[in-house]
Structure 1
Amino acid sequence: MSRPMIRRALTLMLPLLVLLATPAADAAGMRETGARETGGTLATGGTALVHLGAAPGDYLRGRLTVESGRFDLDLVDGAGVPLRHLGSSIPTAGSFHHVVGAADERLRLRAVEAGRWRIDLDPPIPAALQRAPEPELPSPTIAALARDLARGGDTAGFWAEMARRGTPLVEPADRPDRRIVTFLARGARRNVRLFGGPGTGHDELERLGLSDVWYRSYLLPSETRLAYQLAPDVPEFDGTARERRVAVLATAAADPLNRHPWPADAPDIWARESLLVLDDAPAQPWADADASVPHGRLDRLRLASRRLGNTRDITLYRPAGFDPARADTVLLILFDGREYQRKVPVPRILDAMIAAGVIPPVVAVLVDSLDQDTRGRELPGNPDFADMLAEELLPMLRSTAGFTPHPARTVLSGSSFGGLAAMTAALRHPEAFGNVLAMSGSFWWSPPGTPETGREWVAGRVAAATMPPPLRVFLAAGIYETSGDGVTASILDTNRHLRDVLMAKGVWVRHREYATGHDYVAWQGVLSDGLVALFGRDQP
């Protein structure tokens, strides 16, 4: 045999088992099925060494399979000194992972009980090949742009096309009921975050190489309707998690290439959001209804509350042709009243629905929140706020409008903390409020100091009640409202749980989920759906 052939033979043999015969070793039982797989038998106390067949820095993966007996497995150096313990008295199987430190490292197998074994080694991954794979690009358009940039192209044509089409970028997916939606931003220096949208926590956009393209793609149901903003170069600083999270508000603004601003009359880009409405999104006919229908009357009133020790604005809506003696008239009390006139055209929605005859006449009281801090104290499960509604707001309505609503025709409604307030106030005063319309209710909330076993306080109250609460309930949440903090559950999960508890108690409940997030553009449709579910012409 020539010297080159001898060297080649030795090279091929290097990864094979080197069985150092000891008095307890049974060489005749050895099995070799390939360069990376080998095995044999060992008597009790016998040992065997396995060459790694790998170079320093290589990533090595392997498995020990025990067909009978028990084995210890260690990594040793060339002198047999243990470097790493990989398993003790292994009875069936064990896997191991290692980055090779020196070329003479070996696996040492020792039989605790005589038996048969096999070791399989995956091909080593050299250090030179240990690099992150190219990012997966679900958007065909972004993938094509990445290839073009790799060939020396630029982004000018891409951005011209996006300006023509409008953003986000929407592309077909693997199923007819889904779309690939890619949010885009141009030219940020450090970061871009998606404020709102389908993400659950201010999702970060990625930069495409060194270009001026920042992107993030989602696979979304074709029924999606949501609002979002883009936040480029969000300040990063040493602060609490809360302080760093709310810093997104400093730069969040409407998407400059989105053709659907909302609200359209917002004073600036920071007060404006951008809409994504996919082709199968449920219609919101009443939000865009013909303004030629008869209009109701709006009166701005002041409510001084001794119970709360403050004074606030409320807006009273009375429908066209309002008859206070009409028995089927509904009273709607809606929290965050200022927002439900600035962002959601509640009076116009009610005008259109009443004119079309899909609901009976509705008197609406839109209750303003004084400020965010006061809102955070009053709406979440506050008995004084509930008492204010029953003992001060209702008498004021009777004296102002000459209208005494029946509890079965009275509904409390709100979104987020407002949905929570609607449910807790109705539970406290079912003699006054017989219906709840909760939109993305914050049912994850519990009073400060609540033990872990008492989380989801509202569901717990309902479950503990000896009698089912005499309420009719409409619950709604967005499928993207899934973010929890690890301690409290999400809005979506807690709405589902409350639905189940109410149903188990025999309470009349209707529950809907929408392909949306936590925003008013969804709630303007949910409000209409809830009123139809509770008081539509086919309802009692």
Structure 2
Amino acid sequence: MRRIVGSGVVALILSVTPLLAAETTHAVPLAVGAAVTGKAVAAGTRQVFDPEAAAGDYVKGTLRVEAGVFDLDLVDNGGRHLRRLAEGAGGVAEFQLVAEGSGERLVVTADREGTYVLGIERKVGVADQRPAPTAYLSPAIAGIAAAVAMGGTTEAFWAMVTDRGTPLVEDGQDGRKVVTFLGRGAKRNIRLFGAPSGDHEELQRLGGSDIWFKSFEVPDDTRLSYQLAFDVPDVPGTARDRRVAILSTAKADPLNRHGWPAEAKDAYNQDSVLELAGAPPQPFLAEKGNPQGRLNTLSIESRLLGNHRDITFYYPPGFDPAHKDTILLFVFDADQYLGRVPVPRILDNMIAAGAVPPVVAVFVANPDRAARARELPANLAFADFMATELHPLVAKETGLAVPAARTVLAGSSYGGLASATVAMRHPEVFGNVLAMSGSFWWSPPGTPEDRREHVAGLIAVGPALPLRFFLSAGLFETGAQGTAGILETSRHLRDVLQAKGISVIYRDYAGGHDYLVWQGVIADGLIALFGGDRP
């Protein structure tokens, strides 16, 4: 190797001198598990070794340099250079190769006098280069895989699945459960929408059988809703175009006995439920015959936002505006929390059980999807609408004079983000935040990467606001490709709030971005903030 310096440029010129055939003929054999030591090797010295590899053999070894500097090359049986395996090595250099032909040699060249140890750790012949047997997470899948491999049918397996229902649940490690999602009858693919991984997952076909499956190990308190999408089309277009194509065939799992909602127009408008034995109770969901509150809907115009929307009021049974313990609850995404999540019934049951004081709820609808995406993520005009237009209207309509300490903003996803940012702008009006899987990863467009997580940043540099937070996130809401997800950013916000001295209650749930989880979380949050008549 020669160093050429000129015009401020340093170039390294590597020259590999062909070996004579006689040099390769007298190579030292190097067997697997053996090692050779070159001591006090002078600079420029070449030493040749025979790894005894046949064409196609996989060879793995180590060149450990104890002193000096060495190169390691592979040459053919005529001494011609094939590849450099280590250059200027000092210390330990691992190498791997696949022999192109028989008679290939390893050549160690001393760049600087020293000592080395060369060893071959492993050699695998072509006949032994076979993939490892598939390791199945699910014992049931392992059993049917073995049966199918021996020519058996899948009928008994499907009979068992039909009897038990899906997903299959089996014992895993350390108290966890192995959950296997199953599909039958697909031609090309089946995708899982709502997987514990937090992403769309492809089910794997078991050989050439009619079994499609995907297994996960999850906590024993997992609760989630999901759909299966059979034969999703591979549409041309962007990656997003291909991703959203899952919605064209996604529907409730035909083998799952627990549909949500229980009554739906069709399977495409229904999810399937996985609820393990340790899932936290949701005791306020069922109809219990308790006294019911009443609902009243108004359409209001906003001067600040230049649009109008519906606002729905929930008045508790026996409502008395003079009741000093009344809680005033604002809930974003009214369509979801009046329907999919039956908040009025939840409140009926909570109030009847004495879990919380009387609650007046105000459900805030979005004018449309575009308005939701524009207004809920940290929109100052929307925050001012909530405090200066909607709140006075609510006070006038209900006759309530509820202090900020008993007023709470609640929402999920962007609604959770809005709950935080509206209260942060107007803590004199809204003193409590109930954020379920809040989108705290969000930051304004153009924010530098090292300044992401807008809400945590504002809390960190701002004053200690007179607010109380209830934050929750799903264990399956993790980030991907180095980006923090809802789980990580919610935990980070919790830490920032604690460091700032702002009251915060935080809970993880073994679930995903899921209304099935949130229908229990909203009750948990209200009890955490106001149960036992907390101020």
Distance in structure 1 (CA, Å) of the matches to 2:31 and 2:143:
44
C-alpha offsets along residues 398-444 of structure 1, whole Å, 9 cap, x if unaligned?
22211222111100010000000111111111111000000000001
Alignment partners' CA distance in 2, 1:150 and 1:369: 55
In the TM superposition, residue 378 of structure 1 has moved relative to its aligned partner by: 1.2
From 241, 244, 249, the counterpart of 1:243: 241
- Cα distance in 2 for residues equivalent to 1:336 and 1:266: 21
**Does 2:283 align with 1:300?**
no
- Which of the numbers 225, 231, 234 marks the counterpart of 2:232? 234
Contact 2:333 2:366 in 1 (8 A): yes
Q: Secondary structure at the match of 1:270?
A: helix
Q: Residues of 2 paired with 1:479 and 1:299: CA distance? A: 37
Quick check: 1:167–1:259 contact (8 Å CA) kept in 2?
yes
1:1-400 paired onto structure 2 within 5 Å: 20=23, 36-41=34-39, 42-175=41-174, 177-288=175-286, 290-400=287-397
Which is worse superposed, 367-376 or 199-208? 367-376
Give 1:435's aligned residue.
432
- CA drift of 1:35 comes to 6.7
Distance 1:424 1:485 in 2: 27
- Cα drift, residue 453 of structure 1: 2.7
1:15 aligned partner: none
- 1:469 — aligned with what? 465
How far apart, in 1, do the equivalents of 2:282 and 2:167 lie?
Answer: 21
Deviations 1:235-278 (A, max 9, x none): 11221122111111111110111111001122111110011110
User: How is 1:395-434 mapped onto 2 (pairs within 5 angstroms)?
Assistant: 395-434=392-431
Please give the alpha-carbon distance, in whole angstroms, between the structure 1 residues aligned to 2:253 and 2:185: 13
What amino acid maps onto 1:495 in structure 2? S
Alpha-carbon deviation of 1:50?
1.0
**Could you list the runs of 5+ residues in structure 2 that have no partner in the other structure?**
1-20
Preserved contact between residue 44 and residue 110 of structure 2 (Cα < 8 Å): yes
Identity %, equivalent residues: 53
Q: Distance in 1 between matches of 2:101 and 2:382?
A: 72
Q: Give the TM-score of the pair, scaled to structure 2.
A: 0.92
Code of the aligned partner of 2:232? V
**Which deviates the most, 252-261 or 448-457?**
448-457
Tell me how far 1:32 sits from its aligned partner. 7.7
Q: Confirm or deny: 8 A CA contact 1:19 1:48 kept in the other structure.
A: no
| 8 A contact 2:30–2:52 mirrored in 1 | no
Aligned AA (2:332):
F
Tell whether the 8 Å contact from 1:20 to 1:47 is kept in structure 2 after alignment. no
> d(CA) in 2 for partners of 1:519 and 1:336?
14
Paired amino acid for 1:91? G
The alpha-carbon deviation at position 495 of structure 1 amounts to: 0.3
Structure 1 residues 243, 77: closer, same or farther in 2, change over 3 A? same
Deviation of 1:485 after TM superposition, in Å, equals: 5.4
* Cα gap change, 1:32 to 1:135, in 2 (>3 Å): closer
CA distance in 2, matches of 1:420, 1:32: 65
Q: Which segments of 5 or more consecutive residues in structure 1 lack a partner in the other structure?
A: 1-17
- SS in structure 2 of the partner of residue 122 of structure 1: strand
Q: Is the counterpart of residue 532 in structure 1 residue 531 in structure 2?
A: no
Are the aligned partners of 1:36 and 1:123 in contact in 2 as well (CA < 8 Å)?
Answer: no
Letter in 2 for 1:484: A
CA contact (8 A) 2:32 2:120 kept: no
Q: CA deviation at 1:199?
A: 1.8
CA–CA distance in 2 between the matches of 1:404 and 1:421? 23
The alpha-carbon distance between structure 1 residues 84 and 33, as it changes in their structure 2 partners (threshold 3 A), is closer
Output the CA distance in 2 between the equivalents of 1:219 and 1:284. 23
* CA shift in 2, pair 1:34/1:327, >3 Å: closer
Pair 1:34–1:357, CA change in 2 (3 A): closer
Deviation for aligned residue 1:60:
1.4
Deviates more, 1:492-501 or 1:116-125: 116-125
In structure 1, the residue matched to 2:7 is none
Cα-Cα RMSD = 2.1
Q: Aligned with 1:359: secondary structure?
A: coil
Taking structure 1 as the reference length, the TM-score comes to 0.91
Q: Is the 8 A contact 1:336 1:367 kept in 2?
A: yes
Instruction: Check the 8 A contact 1:380/1:420 in 2, yes or no.
Output: yes
Q: Does the 8 Å contact 2:161/2:168 carry over to 1? A: yes
User: In 2, distance between residues paired with 1:371 and 1:158?
Assistant: 47
Give CA deviations for 1:300-359 in whole Å, capped at 9, x if unaligned.
Answer: 221221222222122100100111011110011001111112111111110111111111
Between the two proteins, the alignment pairs up a number of residues equal to 514
> For residues 164 and 32 of structure 1, do their structure 2 counterparts lie closer, same or farther at Cα, with a shift above 3 Å needed?
closer
Asked if the contact 1:19/1:49 (under 8 Å) is kept, the reply is no
Please give the per-residue CA displacement for 1:110-168, whole angstroms capped at 9, x wherever unaligned. 12233332222134223344343232201110000001101111111111111110100
> Is 2:490 the counterpart of 1:492?
no
**In structure 1, C-alpha distance between the alignment counterparts of 2:362 and 2:406, rounded to whole Å:** 14
